[in-house]
Amino acid sequence: MGERNRKITIKDIAAEAGVSIALVSFVMNGKSEGKNAYRVNKETAERIRSVAERLNYQPNEAARVLRSGKTNAVGVIVSDISNKFFADIARCIEDRAYKHKYTVLFGSTDENPQKLENLIDVFRNKGVDGLIVVPCEGAEQTLRKLANENFPLVLLDREVPGAELSSVVLNNRRAGYQVAEVLVRQGFRRIEMVSYSMNLSNIREREEGYRSCMTENGLGEYVRIHHLRHERLDRIVEVLRDARSRQVEAFVFATNTLAMQGVTAMFRMGWQVPRDCSMVCFDTNEAFDLYHTAAACVSQPIERFGAEALDLLLKSIEHRDQPMACTRVVLTPEIVEYAGAESLPEVVSAEV
C-alpha cells in the first residue's frame, strides 16, 4: 500500500525468473520462435512469460523507441479533424491501426501550409514511423522533401501534381461528371458550379468532371465555375444572387462545406431547395439526407479511404529500405440519388 509504485522493468522479470535480461527481451519480442531466432528453452520461455504476466510487465515504449528507432505510431494530418469526412476517416484509421498495434497522432492544418510543416516537424520529432497527409495548397515543397528523404508518406484525398507520391484518392473527375449528370437528366440546363479557389487536385478534378458532363450534353455554353476563397465563404451569397439573376436553375457544390453554406444562404434569401433551385453536392450530410435537399450526393467510400491509406503506409514503413514504391489508389464514388423533396414518402402522406 505505502509502497512506491515503481514500474516493472525487464530487469525485474529477469531477476524474478532467474535469467538474464537478454533472454527476457527475446521472449517478450517473440524472438524465441520463428526461424532466425535465438532458440530459447521452451520451459524457460514459459516461465518468463508467466512472471511477466504476474508482475503485469509493460515494456517501456520510450526505451524501445530510443533503441530500435521504431515507434509504432503514425501521424495523420488532415485539414480539420472536426470535419465529418475527416473525422470518419480518422476513426477508421484509428481502429485499423490499433489492430496492428499502432497508435495514431492526429493534427489539423486548416489548409495552412505553415501549420502542415509544423505538424510534420512535431510528429517526426515524436518519431512517428510514417505519415498520412491531406496536402494543402502550398505544401508541395515540404512533402516532396519528405518523400525524397524516403520517409514513409501517403497522401489522402488529394494529390500533389508532379510528385511521385503514394496516394489514396477518389475518382473525382468521374464523381463530378456523374453527380452533374443527375441534374442534366432531370432536365436542368443552366447548371453552375460553386467551388474553391484553392488549387487542390480533388477540387480541380471535380470541376473537370462537371465541365465535361456539361459539354458532352451540349450545355457547354452554360458552364460556369465560381471560385470562392476558403476564408471568405460569406461571399457565396453574392455568387448565388448573381447566378439567380441569370436564371441559373441548379448548382453543383464542390464540397460539403460549400453546399451547407450555400443552402443556408439560399434559405436566408428565401429560396426553397429544391423547389426554387436544385443542387447536388459531394459527401452526404444529415440535413440533406433527411430532407432530400440535394437531388444527389457523391458518397465517398470512407472505410476504404482509411483502410487503403493505412495499409499503404504500413507497407511502406515495412519496406523503408527499398527505394519507395509509389502506389496510387483511386476509389470509385457512389452517387446517391434522392427522389426529390416533393416525393418524400413521409411528407406526402402527412400532408395529404
Partner DNA sequence: ATGAAAGCGCTAACAC
Partner DNA sequence: GTGTTAGCGCTTTCAT
For residue 260, state whether it binds its own copies (rule: CB under 8 A): yes
Instruction: Pick one of its own copies, DNA, none as the site partner of residue 10 (Cβ within 5 to 8 A by kind).
Output: DNA
For residues 128 and 74, the answer to whether their CB atoms sit within 8 Å is yes
CA angle 97, 86, 92 (to 5 degrees): 25
Q: Judged by CB under 8 A, which stretch of 130-138, 169-177, 180-188, 284-292 contacts its own copies?
A: 284-292
What is the distance between the alpha carbons of residues 229 and 271, in angstroms, rounded to a whole number? Answer: 24
Site string for its own copies, 111-150 (x = CB under 8 A): ----------xxxxxxx---------------------x-
For its own copies, the binding residue among 108, 167, 202, 255 (CB under 8 A) is 108
Helix (H, G, I), strand (E, B) or coil at 87: helix
For residues 259 and 253, the answer to whether their CB atoms sit within 8 Å is yes
Cell numbers for 256:
460539403
Eight-state DSSP code of residue 185 = H
Helix (H, G, I), strand (E, B) or coil at 341: helix
What is the distance, to the nearest Å, from the Cα of residue 319 to the centroid of all Cα atoms in its chain? 23
Instruction: Pick one of its own copies, DNA, none as the site partner of residue 232 (Cβ within 5 to 8 A by kind).
Output: none
Q: Nearest approach, Cβ of 96 to its own copies (angstroms)?
A: 12
For its own copies, the binding residue among 12, 28, 94, 217 (CB under 8 A) is 94
Site string for its own copies, 205-244 (x = CB under 8 A): ----------------------------------------
Q: Nearest approach, Cβ of 151 to DNA (angstroms)?
A: 16
Q: Nearest approach, Cβ of 178 to DNA (angstroms)?
A: 50
Torsion of CA 61, 62, 66, 69, to 10 degrees: 40
Q: List residues near DNA by CB under 7 A.
A: 7, 9-11, 18-23, 25-26, 28-29, 31, 38-41, 44-45, 59-60, 63-64, 66-68
CA atoms 237, 243, 249, 253: torsion sign: negative
